[in-house]
Structure 1
Amino acid sequence: MTHPDSNLISNLLVEVSTDYYLDGKSKVEIARHRGISRFQVARLLAQARDQGVVRIEITPPRADGERGARLAARLGLREILIAASGEDTATTRENVAVELAHAAHEHITEGATVGVSWSRTVEAAVRHIGRLPQCDVVQLVGALPVEGSGNSLALINTFEQMPGVRTWPVWSPLLVADAATAAGMRRQPEIADALARADHLDVAVVAIGHWSERTSTVYPQISPEEQHAATEAGAIAECSGRLFDAAGRPVRTSLDERVVGVTLEQLVATPQVIAIGYGAAVAPGLVAAVTGGVVDTLVVDDAAATALEDLLPH
């Protein structure tokens, strides 16, 4: 039997929450009207949130569909989703992550084999995806821990918790000490199985990074000599640790030999590759990825979209 006081408190939580969130009354006004203190109002509002009486959802602005369609037509892509650029990188990343989650829900169908490469944005998108249909998720790259963020192993573990989702992890760092070590890691049965499955993906989710210290998670992890060698060889962008030039061609350096992960050739052979990139600097890399046949769907922010529009002939 419900205690009468419980009903009174429940009703009060609803009434105070309605006053504050829907009617726009201040805590002082609510306190004066109901004969309680402002601090009691604050406690009631906090209690309402804790008990689920009030649920607050923050939804970034959705993509500009018409603009994305025009830009996709100019690039020869299936689709481009354009998210709002935020006041800082974290906000921009979150906005792009929301759009990436929408794209994932649209393209990942029951029974699909899905390859996922780690990035901060992909990691953020998983929070918005919630659940996936029954499918197989393949880790496309080894782990590259980044301060303040997770890594590809943590990401694949998140997918593993989803009902009906089977996962194939790559139990290796993304970058190892030398080519011989990388070759040995690729021969390990579990890793070899996961990377072999990248030959038979239905969908891949990857990130494109501009080849520079500030905009690539790989660049700061290698020696200045390797950085210089990659730049001299024509690298302008990277995807899953793989470098490519302005024509979308793979750039082969000693770095490429140390990567444990999917190849650009495997991504080119994948029917549907969803790639994210944000910031104006990444635009040439995005064009190169399209030129090289790596990408089918792009998820970008407004700054990247504007830079793409400026790069492309009218």
Structure 2
Amino acid sequence: MEEADSLSGDPVAAASYAAIDHEEQLATRAAWLYFVAGLTQAQIGKKLGLNRTRINRLLAQARDQGLVQINITGRLASCVAIEEKLRQQYGLADATVVPTPPDQELIPQVIATAAAAVLSARLKDGMSVGVGWGRTLRLSIQSVPRRRLNRLSVVSLLGGLTRGSAMNPHETATHLAGLVGAQCFYVAAPALTETQSTRDVLMAQPMLREIFERGARVDLAFLSVGELSPSCTMTRVGLVSPAEVDDLLAAGAVGDLCAHWIDREGHLVDHPLNSRVVALPPEKLRDIPCVVIASGGRAKVQALRGVLKGGMCNVIVTDEQTARAILAMDQP
């Protein structure tokens, strides 16, 4: 799961830091792809979803503003280079890397702003969208512009909490569905059961079977990863005890994806908690056409690397320091 429920830091400062001029973003990306990666204007246009005339103007803008000298000097130049490394290293369809703010508490908000744009750009009529939960996702959906789409459905990919919380997966799914006028499907069960046998009985029910079959067939999944620590969200909402945190660490767990605990290679760890989860299994994500993972911060590095190594993500939204740390883990 994600970090603590309460927002910390200054939201105004976060928004200001994240709101890098859109034109500068496009100009920097176009310049890097043209002058460093060696793509043609037609290839860049296809990659950015813009026509050739627009690309030509952006390249001229980059030169006029001094973004292109011997090196590209735009504020996002280093981020664009890391995006390309992530795509190549892990075979991703896309990557968005934002500058890491000086205040680590602002990382979720900065990533959320970028993730909202990534999600909004991919939402189309007739789509089905699966959603997870966590602070970053909640912040992301708050930044998604309201617009009505036709025949769109939203599916929660895991059970809910037994007590009210803005972090509840049901709330996350409901909020997104309300913004785009979508039909919403919930998992009418807790995210974690007391025993494996209880979980097996629930998962055998036709209603839950139908929801998870629907979840496995979504066109896009929008998820985050959670850290593993004594103060992580799982412990704060009472799903995991401090003793279980120690056991999970001993078993090699580094974080969770859809409430399943994984190791640094993206494999499920051998722990009883993984047999009590009411959620879409992470391996099912490999069959979903587009899986967007939005997360960042020092505590998430190993979990994010596991998700990438495990092939359970093809679009990542993270911050620069986190991206660099992930890449460093796979250097010779």
| Equivalent residue number for residue 158 of structure 1 | 175
d(CA) in 2 for partners of 1:147 and 1:302?
34
Which residue among 89, 101, 106 is the counterpart of 2:121?
106
| Equivalent residue number for residue 53 of structure 2 | none
Q: Is the 8 A contact 1:114 1:136 kept in 2?
A: yes
d(CA) in 2 for partners of 1:191 and 1:288?
28
> Who wins on radius of gyration, i.e. which is larger?
1
| TM score, norm. by length of structure 1 | 0.73
Structure 1 segment 35-74 matched on structure 2, within 5 A:
60-62=18-20, 64-74=79-89
Shift in alpha-carbon separation, 1:154–1:148, aligned structure 2, 3 A: closer
Q: Is the 8 A contact 1:61 1:84 kept in 2?
A: no
- What is the DSSP-based 3-state SS (H/G/I as helix, E as strand, rest coil) of the residue aligned with 2:173? helix
| Equivalent residue number for residue 284 of structure 1 | 302
2:218 is the counterpart of 1:218: no
d(CA) in 2 for partners of 1:145 and 1:128?
27
| Equivalent residue number for residue 310 of structure 1 | 328
User: What residue identity is the alignment partner of 2:324?
Assistant: T
d(CA) in 1 for partners of 2:110 and 2:171?
22
d(CA) in 2 for partners of 1:299 and 1:71?
11
- The 4+ residue runs of structure 1 with deviation greater than 6 A are 145-148
- What is the DSSP-based 3-state SS (H/G/I as helix, E as strand, rest coil) of the residue aligned with 1:218? helix
2:221 is the counterpart of 1:177: no
Unaligned runs of 5+ residues in structure 2 are 1-14, 21-75
Shift in alpha-carbon separation, 1:169–1:148, aligned structure 2, 3 A: closer
Q: Is the 8 A contact 1:172 1:185 kept in 2?
A: yes
Structure 1 segment 257-276 matched on structure 2, within 5 A:
257-276=275-294
**Could you tell me the percent identity over the aligned residues?**
23
2:91 is the counterpart of 1:76: yes
2:278 is the counterpart of 1:252: no
Give the RMSD, CA atoms, in angstroms: 2.5
* Number of residue equivalences: 257
> Structure 1 residue 125: deviation in Å?
0.8
| Equivalent residue number for residue 231 of structure 1 | 249
d(CA) in 2 for partners of 1:251 and 1:264?
12
Q: Is the 8 A contact 1:100 1:276 kept in 2?
A: yes
| Equivalent residue number for residue 48 of structure 1 | none
- What is the DSSP-based 3-state SS (H/G/I as helix, E as strand, rest coil) of the residue aligned with 1:222? coil
Unaligned runs of 5+ residues in structure 1 are 1-56
d(CA) in 1 for partners of 2:266 and 2:16?
37
| TM score, norm. by length of structure 2 | 0.70
d(CA) in 1 for partners of 2:163 and 2:138?
12
User: What residue identity is the alignment partner of 2:254?
Assistant: I
- Work out which structure has the larger RCO, using CA pairs closer than 8 Å and 6 or more positions apart in sequence: 2
2:144 is the counterpart of 1:126: no
d(CA) in 2 for partners of 1:288 and 1:138?
24
